[in-house]
Structure 1
Amino acid sequence: MPVLTESEIERLLAPYTNQNATLAAKMVEYLDLLVRWNARTNLTAIRTPEEMVRRHFGESLFAAAHLGDPLPDTLLDLGSGAGFPGLPIALARPEIAVTLAESQNKKSTFLREAVRTLGVKNVEVWAGRAENLPEGRQFHTVTLRAVDDMAAALAIAEPLVRSQMLLLTTATPGLPAGFSVIERLPLPESESGVLLRATRD
């Protein structure tokens, strides 16, 4: 039995995005894997499946719905953790080549297992620090969510960004020179969370 059914997940995700049955089915698999792994290795401090769906899947899919037009061709999720927001974005937007950068071994191992289990073809897991990516490599969009030190993460992100940054945060951070916030959206079901889309000037 799944932790939550497709219909339960669809109901929880309704405030965040319009999803199809295929996406909901993938979220069932992803949630089952996350709950199972989280019981033995601390991937997320959120423990209840319903909150995982709202906070992790919902907010990630909200970001997927606000990537701008035209859609990015490449996306780097910096400090991906258990895959948020990068992996749900990859599932919702299979036309985007997504790189999940995660330096903690237990989390990058989980990400590889999640990509394999979910059969995602448009995802690369970079099991290392983002600043050690091949020199000169850039991505149309870089996402940041729940990073410990936003200022340090933004400094790492800046040379990797070709066009825009997408930040899921509770405050407006000091952006690197040459970036401006062009969209600021409150996160559904959140008292203080916002989605910031910042582009190069």
Structure 2
Amino acid sequence: MNQARIAELLQPFLGISTNAAISSEPCHSEPAKAGEKPRLLSPFQLQCISTYIDILMRWNARINLTSIRDPEEIVIRHFGESLFAASHLFPTASSVPALSEASVPSVVKDFARPRVADLGSGAGWPGLPIKLWAPHIALTLIESNQKKATFLREVTRALILTDVNVHSDRAETLAIQSAFELVTLRAVERFANVLPIAARLVAPAGRLALLIGASQLHKAQTILPDFSWQDPLAVPNSQSRILFVGRRYA
């Protein structure tokens, strides 16, 4: 898919003026602060998204990864929402200079990497776009469907991403042995049943980020009273979708 068109479609989700051009700088993006011009997606990020979509379209002809078949709608509905979340969860991610995973300086690689888990990853949203935005994170994609897990591994290899683990067993087995600074959850079935599992993956003082419908907000607060919830953020170009982030009490 054309990179310029991808950039144009993603502008509303990153707070970018529709008159903005593609950045020529290889740095990762950062949402604009008051009075500042917002950063744009780098050519490397846009190329990764384009490659990701190409692989997705091939696979989607064989297995149902998404019901959306139009590439532009995929950018808006899936990548837009995911990068909106990424820009709020990691607002200073652009401080990690990377043309690609291989080019991250060794001094950056030595920093403690935030451990992030994406529960019910499916076709990789929001986990993989968050990794593209914030390449310094250590990402675990949790997907028990073996075909979808194989797809996730192929995308990870094609984009040459490091520190990405695809966990193809049930999340309950991972919760016993691992804790994460951030857990993401998006558009899963049986939301009320899955939410406590997601919470068990969150480390003390860690965050749980939900991309959900506004009607599910109260249910999340009721099921997880031991989280301190921020005000929900409306996802651009949506009448009902929100980003709802809670922090576990230490």
Shorter-chain TM-score: what band? over 0.9
Partners of 2:81 and 2:47 lie apart in 1 by 18
State the match for 1:21 in structure 2: 43
Distance 1:122 1:7 in 2: 28
Kept in 2: contact 1:183–1:198 (CA 8 A): no
Unaligned runs of 5+ in 1: none
Q: Which amino acid aligns with 1:193?
A: R
Identity rate, percent: 46
SS of equivalent to 2:161: coil
In structure 2, which of residues 213, 216, 220 is the aligned counterpart of residue 174 of structure 1?
A: 220
Aligned pairs (5 A) from 1:75-94: 75-94=116-135
TM-score (norm 1): 0.93
User: Please, which moves more after superposition, 124-133 or 80-89?
Assistant: 124-133
Please tell me the root mean square deviation across aligned C-alpha atoms, in Å.
Answer: 1.6
Match 2:242 to one of 167, 183, 194: 194
Aligned to 1:117: 158
Bigger Rg, structure 1 or 2: 2
Q: Deviations over 1:37-63 (max 9, x none)?
A: 101111111111111001111111111
Q: Show CA shifts across 1:93-118 (max 9, x none).
A: 11110100000111101001110111
| Alpha-carbon separation, structure 1, partners of 2:2 and 2:220 | 41
Selected match of 1:164 from 189, 207, 225: 207
SS at match of 2:152: helix
Gaps of 5+ in 2: 15-39, 94-112
> What aligned pairs does 1:56-95 form with structure 2 within 5 A after superposition?
56-67=78-89, 73-95=114-136
Q: Give the corresponding residue for 2:72.
A: 50
In structure 2, do the counterparts of structure 1 residues 15 and 149 end up closer, same or farther at CA, with 3 Å as the change threshold? same
Distance 1:178 1:134, change over 3 A: closer
1:69: how far off?
6.8
